Amino acid sequence: MEELIFDGLRGLDEQVRVTVAPKQGAPQVFFQITSPRDFAGLCLGRPVEELPRILTILSPAHHLASALTLDNLFGVQPPPMAVNMREALRQNFFFENHLRKFYFFISAGFNPFLPSSSQAKGTLEDQSSPHILDEIMSHIALAQDAVNLLAGRSDHPLSAVAGGVSRFLPKEENFDRLLQIANSCLDFVKKLGKFLHQYLMNNDGLWSQLREIALPPLSFMGLEESSEKIFLKDGAGRPLDTFSADTLLDKIGLNREPWSYEPFAFLKNMSGGAKLKEPIGLDGFDYNQCFFVGPLARFNQNSRLTPLAEEERQWFLQGSGSLPRFDLLAAYWSLFLEVLGVAENMAEIFQKEKLLGAETRNIPTVMGREGRAVLESPKGLIYHHYRVDEKGLVQEIDVLDAPALNNALRSLLAQKTAEISLSRNDSPLEMQRCLELVLLPF
């Protein structure tokens, strides 16, 4: 076989290249994140209060993680209104991120260039895309509108600062608008659920190429409910460790390879499993040292869900088995459970009394030298650590998020997907489509 290069896979937030190189036996597959992110170069020497606005370039959720780190650095607790404003923003980030993934997932199975009135039969590619795609895009726009009201801008929010938020909601009518958005989003997600029940669960054609591909039973990590503690469980769902953000870098190592800008996170002091394949850059480590974060990890944690999301979880588990799960169907269903849950939460947190208060922030009066925080973002766990001098200028910064924490996982998935696709004699286009759908939930 000749070398295959897939550049710019659909649906992934990072610039990604997957290279499938010929090799005796199994092919050698490289999952490469090709866009450098020198956030340390942007932040060192700057006043630490500027970081919430700077680090939002990584993702909007980093805006909130950075503000939470400043709270801990300055030893200040935001007032209830500010806590609710921040949480309302976080819920919107989840809603927008997950809906966008469903847009790419659903559109991958249909021909978007056929008119909606087409009655074409045959494969999914011969059929016009369903109206649900238009509704997904319109509700992504609604979520962005809500973020604009809450934070000034949707892509680069402005509101979260040390000790709270920087703004009230500017107009009385904004409360009514937020409630309209929340109710519309909840109604739509219920409709999306009915569509997915038919599309995900009963579509043999869509899953025929994906059923053979699953995660190995890896450890998974996330933030405990109503706690700032991080949980770590093994592939059987058994607790391995619980620890605070202060010790995260004592638990996790970062392996850097010259062919990827993103490091490979692994668990320290874990051994005894099957050896990893060489192409992912972790030769000498084993599966026990790999882990993942994100929606599937949170699903496997089996935390309490909102009422409608809990109904859907129980329905799914009754028909497909118990937790933990490592298959792609569970990965996609975990996305739906979260988007349904945040839609329910938005309808509750957008109540006027939750977003009103006499104070938007508590002004810091003292400053420490180090601050750390963890946050569950749509893609998975976020960790921030800042060290400052006596003037509050940044001297050291560490930021970890899902691209690094899931790098080994996605490399393993790319390797397995390429091997299975080649064994089926798939065309390069079919292999690319399969890679996109396998990597999308992570």
Confidence of residue 201 (pLDDT cuts 50, 70, 90): low
| pLDDT score for 322 | 84
| pLDDT score for 208 | 63
Confidence of residue 198 (pLDDT cuts 50, 70, 90): confident
| pLDDT score for 121 | 47
Confidence of residue 205 (pLDDT cuts 50, 70, 90): low
Residue pLDDT, tens place only, 258-290: 888 888 898 887 654 444 444 344 455 566 788
More confident residue, 41 or 113: 41
Output the 3-class SS for the chain.
Answer: CCCEEEECCCCCCCCEEEEEECCCCCCEEEEEECCCCCHHHHHCCCEHHHHHHHHHHCCHHHHHHHHHHHHHHHCCCCCHHHHHHHHHHHHHHHHHHHHHHHHHHHHCCCECCCCCCCCCCCCHHHCECCCHHHHHHHHHHHHHHHHHHHHCCCCCCCCEECCEECCCCCCCHHHHHHHHHHHHHHHHHHHHHHHHHHHCCCCHHHHCCCCCCECCCCEEEEECCCCCCEEEECCCCCEEEEECHHHHHHHEEEECCCCCCCCEEEECCCCCCCECCHHHCCCCCEHHHCEECCHHHHHHHCCCCCHHHHHHHHHHHHHHCCCCCCEHHHHHHHHHHHHHHHHHHHHHHCCHHHHCCCCCECCCCCCCCEEEEEEEECCEEEEEEEEECCCCEEEEEEEECHHHHCHHHHHHHHHHHHHHHHHCCCCHHHHHHHHHHHHCCC
Check pLDDT > 90 for residue 23.
Answer: no
